A and B are shown apart, each in its own frame.
Chain A
Amino acid sequence: MAELTYLEAISDALRTEMRRDDSVFCLGEDIGAFGGAFKVTAGLAEEFGADRVLDAPLAENAIIGAATGAAIEGMRPVCEMQFADFVACGFDQLVNVAAKLHYRQGVAVPMVVRLPSGGGFSGGPFHSQNPEAWFLQAPGLKVLAPATAADAKGLLASAIRDPNPVCFLEHKGLYRHVRGEVPEGEYTVPIGKARVAREGAELTVVAYGSAVHLALAAAEQLGEEIEVLDLRSLCPLDREAILASARKTGKVLIAHEATRACGAGAEVAALIGEEAFEDLDAPIRRLTAPDVPIPFSPPLEQAVLPQLEQMKEACRELLAY
């Protein structure tokens, strides 16, 4: 075990998988000698050469399209979108080509698109988005959103080894603020399995990414019997874990930083409503960003992104219901 930041854990996964498998390579803007906008790929070009840490022109469809073609031919490309927001510029290749090739033609596309996502640093409307729900409407894509350093490493390794296109949402706010024990060497976490981050009997908070840390902080400060379920994977969704926790506590708060309408949380709420309605003791509640772009100015951004006090208040309301 080594104590690593979330960002270091992602770098560790890339390095470990590139050592393990010659077909793994990275492709993205400024990722080579420069090491990437966030330095996730720092040092990789030195170790593996510029051919395996390929600097790409500013052209997201060319990047995702090239990754798709290389994956078809047996390579294991890991694309970096400099910011998750820019995946919009490569969306066509992702949702129309990569996502559908196996369904239509039996052609597997083992590739990863890394998506530095999330707000909280005045990045404004184009450097702060949480676009995970975009992908959930494109069957054929797997969607992962780790909250811890260990999961960041283990899920990225699993994503690289998976034979499908995987969208890997890495929250920028966690990059250097979250650290934890991370197994050294090869380490994988199974895709599609949620994690009970904190056990409790009175209320379940279903969360992923940055909202997991908000939920854990709220639970600690409130000192109540709050269970925190970290989804880790949004597609496939761990239906059993969600339903088991909902049935156990009877009260569910769903939290994410992404906007509200048709977000991942709406799917979780629908699942619980359909499958565990009679086990509920309170209405399902959601804590999300409202349906607005992420504004730039700090007071405006804070007004939009879910805050700890809101999390505590939502928990208190449900506990008291």
Chain B
Amino acid sequence: MRLSDASAVGDATVALDRGLLTRGDRVQLLRLMEMMRAAEERGLALYKQGKVPGSFYDGRGEEAISVGAAFALGPRDRLCILHRDLGAHFVRGVTPDRYLANYMGRAGGVTGGKDGNMHFGDRALGCVGMVSMLPDMAPVANGIALAFKMRGEPRVALTFFGEGSTANGQWHEAMNFAGIHRLPVVFVLENNRFAYSTPNQLEFAVDPVERASGYGFPGVGVDGNDVEAVFTATAAAAERAREGGGPTLIGCETMRMHGHGAHDDMSYVPAALREEWERRDPIDGYAARLVAELGFEESEVSDVRAEVRSYVAECAERALASPPPEPEVAGEGVFAERWQPLGDGAAPWSRWAETGADGARRAA
């Protein structure tokens, strides 16, 4: 772990490093990453079959980030999830059938056909869906965190963005605002090396993780293909935020292993770079580590992966059976009749079972 301000997050990280993941947690991490991989592969197949209008976007190779980060959050925390982060939706409790139905524009999709691809968030699970403009959800996550801070609630807002987003002025506005007000917010930066086709060296002169210190809060660099590293950094950042320590930027180094969308052949990516990151696959790597270092049997790991793939296949059938929306739905819901609170999401990390939904206290 690389820290630009180690003293600020050091204590929390040390405390959280002491085996906070149970065996069951590790099964969940593997299962959720595999679920994301399998669901996106299924979605891509549906796209190629002509069943997905528009294009198709996935986060292949980045599964450890969304799963690891979201896994650290409690049920009452809130997330703004981006387009390479399907795993975070699954952590919160969205099922693959609703994801696939959303891609196909079906009534059973999370948005019921109102919005497509990854532009969704299940309000009932404490999530606010992204818009295409980036990083627009960062100022929104700030506002959610501001509400928590104003009410004195030990809760955290988390949002993701890619390194491409850090070039936009709103990124500066969001980081600055979060720093000024020491908001309980966690920014998870996925540096997947390309903004569509634009490589890092044309995106920024100074690494965004280093820039965090300029806003008055720590930037923490982690291996984005190591789910436990992402989890640990996020847990520490969330703990720090909950205790009034303010924001953290977690920079996850990774690689987008597919094109920007299914229409993009990635011809601009050097073959050697792809091959290097292929060898660092986050799911295969974690599966191997579970067996080699963490006491799992090979059969256990392969059973978990097989089971979730068959579950995703069942979900795909349910998605295909979902009807298209009724055309009159297009005219509904422009205005709200009343405000209703977001619901709480699933929080599968064993810590939350131990401490309850309001568990602001450290489980260790």
User: Hey, which chain B residues are within 8 Å of A66, CB to CB?
Assistant: 139-140, 142-143, 146, 177
- Knowing A70-B143, A96-B131, A103-B114 are in contact, say whether A59-B335 is a contact too (CB < 8 A): no
Residues in B neighbouring A110, C-beta threshold 8 A = 336, 339
Contact between A68 and B140, CB atoms less than 8 A apart: yes
Residue of A69, A75, A101 contacting most chain B CB atoms (<10 Å): A69
Residue of A nearest to B120 (CB): A105
Interface pick from B167-175, B190-198, B229-237, B305-313: B167-175
Within 8 A of A (CB), among B177-217: 177, 180
Collect the chain B residues with CB atoms within 8 Å of residue A163's CB. Answer: 336-339
Give the residue name and chain of the B residue nearest to A102 (CB): B336
Contact of B170 among A61, A73, A77 (CB under 8 A): A61
Measured CB to CB, the closest approach of chain A to B282, in angstroms, equals 29
Other-chain contact of A57, B119, B123, B180 (Cβ < 8 Å): B180
- Name the residue of chain A whose CB is nearest to the CB of B335: A164
Interface: A140 (CB within 8 A): yes
User: Which residues from A are CB-within-8-Å of B341?
Assistant: 73-74
Contact partners of B173 in chain A: CB under 8 A: 57, 59, 61-62, 65
The A106-126 residues at the B interface (CB cut-off 8 A) are: 106-110
- Would you call B335 and A57 a contact (CB within 8 A)? no
User: In the complex, which residues of chain A have a beta carbon less than 8 angstroms from the beta carbon of B138?
Assistant: 65
Determine which of B129, B136, B150 lies in contact with A96 in the assembled complex, contact meaning CB atoms within 8 Å.
B136
Verify A93–B333 contact, CB threshold 8 A.
no
- Residues of B within 8 Å of A, CB-based: how many? 46
Q: Nearest-CB distance from B44 to chain A (Å)?
A: 24
Q: Does A51 contact B (CB under 8 A)?
A: yes
Instruction: Indicate if the CB atoms of B128 and A107 lie closer than 8 Å.
Output: yes
Question: A56–B336 Cα gap in the complex (Å)?
Answer: 28
Is B121 interfacial (CB 8 A cutoff)? Answer: yes
Query: Does A139 reach chain B (CB closer than 8 Å)?
Result: yes
Contact indicator A69/B177 (Cβ below 8 Å): no
What is the distance, in angstroms, from A79's C-beta to the closest C-beta of chain B?
11
Contact B177 A62 (CB under 8 A): yes
Cα A72 to Cα B342 in complex, Å, equals 8
B147 touches A70 (CB 8 A): yes
A69 touches B145 (CB 8 A): yes
Contact partners of A51 in chain B: CB under 8 A: 150
Name the CB-closest residue of A to B142. A66
**Which among B144, B146, B170 has the highest number of chain A CB atoms within 10 Å?**
B146
Interface flag for B157 (CB, 8 Å): yes
Query: Are B128 and A70 neighbours in the complex by a CB distance under 8 Å?
Result: no
Give A254 Cβ to nearest chain B Cβ, in Å. Answer: 25
B126 CB, nearest partner CB in chain A, Å: 10
Measured CB to CB, the closest approach of chain B to A225, in angstroms, equals 37
> A68 and B340 in contact (CB under 8 A), knowing A59-B173, A75-B150, A104-B129?
no
- Residues on A with C-beta less than 8 A from B146 are 66, 69-70, 75
Cβ contact of B334, chosen from A52, A65, A67, A102, cutoff 8 A: A102
A97 to B177, CA, bound (A): 18
In contact, B131 and A100 (Cβ under 8 angstroms) = yes
- Asked whether B115 is an interface residue with its Cβ less than 8 Å from the other chain, the reply is yes
Q: Are B139 and A62 in contact (CB under 8 A)?
A: yes
The dominant DSSP class at the B interface is: mixed
Minimum Cβ distance to chain A for residue B167 (Å): 15
Chain A, residue nearest B336 (CB)? A108
Given A69-B146, A106-B123, A92 contacting B136 (CB threshold 8 A)? yes
Q: How far is the CB of B130 from chain A (nearest CB, A)?
A: 9
* Chain B contacts for A96, CB-based, 8 A: 131-133, 136
Say whether B99 faces chain A, with CB atoms less than 8 Å apart: no
Task: Let me know if B139 and A105 touch, CB within 8 A.
Answer: no
**A residues within 8 A CB of B136?**
61, 65, 92-93, 96-97
Interface mask (B137-162 → A, CB under 8 Å = 1, otherwise 0): 11111111111101000000100000
Q: Is B111 in contact with chain A by the CB < 8 A criterion?
A: yes
Task: Say if the beta carbon of B176 comes within 8 Å of chain A.
Answer: yes
Q: Chain A contacts of B78 at CB under 8 A?
A: 73
Q: Is the CB of A56 within 8 A of B114?
A: no
Contact B335 A102 (CB under 8 A): yes
A residues less than 8 Å from B177 (CB atoms): 56-57, 59, 62, 66
Whole-angstrom distance between the Cβ of A267 and the nearest chain B Cβ: 16
Residue from B115, B132, B170, B174 in contact with A105 in the complex, judged by beta carbons closer than 8 Å: B115
**Within 8 Å CB of A74, what residues of B?**
147, 339, 341
Residue of A nearest to B177 (CB): A62
Q: How far is the CB of B120 from chain A (nearest CB, A)?
A: 7
Chain B residues near A105 (CB, 8 Å)? 110-111, 114-115, 120-121, 123, 128-129
In the bound complex, do residue B123 and residue A104 qualify as a contact, i.e. CB atoms below 8 Å apart?
no
B142 CB contact (under 8 Å) in A52, A69, A101, A104: A69
Closest 8 CB pairs of A and B: A69-B143, A65-B139, A73-B147, A108-B336, A62-B173, A66-B143, A59-B173, A69-B144
Report 13 cross-chain contacts, Cβ distance below 8 Å, ordered by A residue: A59-B176, A61-B139, A62-B176, A65-B173, A69-B144, A92-B133, A93-B140, A102-B336, A103-B114, A104-B111, A105-B120, A107-B128, A108-B336
